[in-house]
Chain A
Amino acid sequence: MSDIPLDGTAPVTHEEHAHHPFLQHHFEDLGQQHEASTLGMWMFLSTEILFFGGVLCAYWVYRILYPEAWAIGAEQQNKLYGGLNTIVLIISSLTMALAVRNAQLGKRKGTVAMLFATLVFGSTFMAVKGIEYWQHYHEGLFPGVHFTWNEIPALAPKVQLFMVFYWGMTGLHALHMVIGAGLLIWMMTRAWRGHFGPEYYGPVEIMGLYWHFVDIVWIFLFPFLYLIHGVHHV
């Protein structure tokens, strides 16, 4: 520690990476910048867990109160579309992970291609979701004045409550997908310009964390909203 000057100031160093074009001035080096950004995204995701956790908590309260209505509500869902979307989204997480790997290796075209593939799968998910929304709307399953489902009149308000959570939770998830698609396009343009390489790939990795999180949210939503049938026959 003899190189620390006695006035308490840091030893003057000129590392090679000190002037990397994407090093922000308030960070000491790219390593610190990368760690800070990654930690920031993890913390953001922890707020997201609480955000979705709040509505999931409400969902569970009413699921316990009205198990029959919840089962009927789930039966209104198209399991084929939901299952297809689950597979599509899991594959998109794979391509996202491959995009991060390509960025780390400095493979420009590979990064762009994998980000594009992720965007295609994400858009496929949104398109299928759009078809489901369209069908639900025409089946009278949008809550409020448009809600006309009345097969079991006594349960209709509770089934409507299920559909509130269906639209609310899948809607919030879809909003996150749209934001994710925007981020993908941004990352694609940056990757195309050759911004990423072994020294600097943080933005792609952090974008990946976000994408995987949105994927995981769906992994919870799919069984909670599509696969809980059968309880009311007991």
Chain B
Amino acid sequence: MSSVTLQDVRFVEPEGTRNYITHDYGALSWLLTKDHKRIAILYLFSITALFMLGGFFAVVMRIELLTPEGDLLTSDTYNKFFTLHGIVMIFFFLIPSIPAVLGNFLLPLMLGAKDLAFPKINLLSWYLYMIAAVLGLYIIITGGVDTGWTFYTPFSTQYSNTHVFGVTFAAFIVGFSSILTGLNFLVTIHRMRAPGLTWFRLPLFVWAMYATSIVQLLATPVLAITLVMLMFERVVHVGIFDPALGGDPLLFQHMFWFYSHPAVYIMILPAMGVASEVVAAFTRKKIFGYAFVAYSSLAIAFLGFLVWAHHMFVAGISVYSAMIFSFLSYFVAVPSAIKVFNWTATLYRASVALMTPMLYILGFIGLFTIGGVTGLFLAAIGLDVHVTDTYFVVAHFHYIMVGGAVMAYMAGLHYWWPKITGRMYPEWWARLAALLIFAGFNLTFFPQFILGYLGMPRRYHAYAPEFQVLNVMSTAGASVLAVGYALPLVYLIWSLWYGRKAGPNPWGAVGLEWATSSPPPMENFHETPVVTWDAYDYPAMMKAMGDTQNV
């Protein structure tokens, strides 16, 4: 053999060597760690706790909506619940989820590096997250906030008597956590790649994280300054966004969505990265159209900055700017469709191993497509006017956020669980949970498309009686979904002690992260790898295995 392939490279440590978990003991060794893998674990615990909190608000809301009357929560409490559900899930779960947990853990491993470029800043970003989370929890305990997660002015600055200042300050802080993560990833991808690991040998997960990080870096500061202006207006009682004092509330919406629309791509781009990894691993094929999938991540990140005003079609923007933003919004469908078609083409005539991560990703591809296509409905101005602020919108973005981002997060968590913990999760239970989540999700949110189309408005605790059947279906689905999410919590913890030992590469996957031990040692690789192969080099591996069998 003249050329070295990944199969010839092994950095597996002998049995009993210390790994990143057993390297040091004690709480301080975790709280002061600079190791990217340990920080990923800190994030895993934190976002799981916040996910359960956000889920709690959702469950109570779904129970309230079982009956047309507002009988469980007062309308004021309901306002607080949907606000807190949104804030917790978006700022404290979805945005950090895949980047801060899986990205933190995997990026240096995939790049053949010892750590991220700035380990201390990485730890700082977790502390910023925790400070914001604790502040958020304090606010929830002391009365909450009722503006909706969008903090629209002038309600948030002049009228709401809830904790607007505190919660926007928490969002401001957690924004810097996100910026620092993105900055760290970008520098790491640019400067820390192993020798020979050229841009077009990078796993597509790395490309996705790169595109995500650009959005985090460039969009989040605009939210930060917008929230600073909001806080200033609320504290000093001036009218930056108050029409009574010469301000313009539409300007707030423009600036808010300039961040918050790209933020959708902060949530979905990493999910697409996970999908590429999992599809390749469980079809044993190169991703069809690798370069197109890579570039489409950058295209989504770029186009994501140009479409924000499609959230404002009924807010009073001019018809001409609405037309332009509608037109531009359609463009996002192109790179998104490129990804879906390339995954499908990879699956075509492959022998697909239907392990749990693959089940989640099959669900992801379908649900993301539904979410994306209904997004095009909403980009059409005429239809958008009809369904604005109805459950159609709620269903659409939950198909992207939950059906897309959360499904892919679950896929990634299962796919890399053996790498993170060294143990296999129980496959049968995991498949059951994946199916429950898929079924529960569709039962929860598909009826909401119909409800919205029929005209049921969102953000009310009571509704017209003719909507009850579909709402009962939705609540029933939410119960299934809750069971589906509770199962992994149980069996993943169980697997830490009783799971089968995974070994370095339980999936027979290619990729540098699988060339080291599970769990990896503190330094990731005892020597710096030199990469001479392309990403997803499964054909070469299959050929090598065939050769061995022939011998």
Interface residues, chain A, with chain B CB atoms under 8 Å away: 4, 6-10, 12, 24-26, 28, 32, 35-36, 39-40, 43-44, 46-48, 50-55, 57-58, 61-62, 65-66, 143-145, 147, 157-158, 160-161, 164, 168, 172
Contact = CB atoms under 8 A, between A and B. Distances in A.
* Best-surrounded residue of B191, B228, B529 (most CB of chain A within 10 A): B191
B238 interface: yes
Contacts of B118: 36, 40
A53 B251 contact: no
A7 B8 contact: yes
Interface in B220-259: 220-222, 224-226, 228-229, 232, 236-240, 245-248, 251, 255, 258
Given A6-B4, A10-B195, A36-B192, A43 B114 contact: no
Contact of B4 (A8, A52, A161, A172): A8
* Best-surrounded residue of A6, A54, A65 (most CB of chain B within 10 A): A54
Interface string B204-233: 000000000000011111101110110010
> Interface on chain B toward A: helix, strand, loop, or mixed SS?
helix
B183 A43 contact: yes
Contacts of A65: 248
Interface in B81-118: 113-118
Contact of A58 (B121, B220, B251): B251
B220 A47 contact: yes
Interface in B498-531: 527-531
B532 interface: yes
Contact of B183 (A35, A47, A51, A145): A47
A66 B248 CA distance: 12
Contact of B218 (A6, A28, A46, A164): A46
A51 B221 CA distance: 5
Nearest to A24: B119
Contacts of B225: 51-52, 54-55
Contact of B222 (A32, A53, A143): A53
Given A8-B529, A28-B528, A160 B226 contact: no
Nearest to B179: A47
Given A36-B192, A157-B246, A54 B114 contact: no
Contacts of B236: 143-144, 164
Contact of B221 (A4, A40, A48): A48
B186 A143 contact: no
Nearest to B237: A144
Contacts of A43: 183, 186-187, 217
A9 B238 contact: no
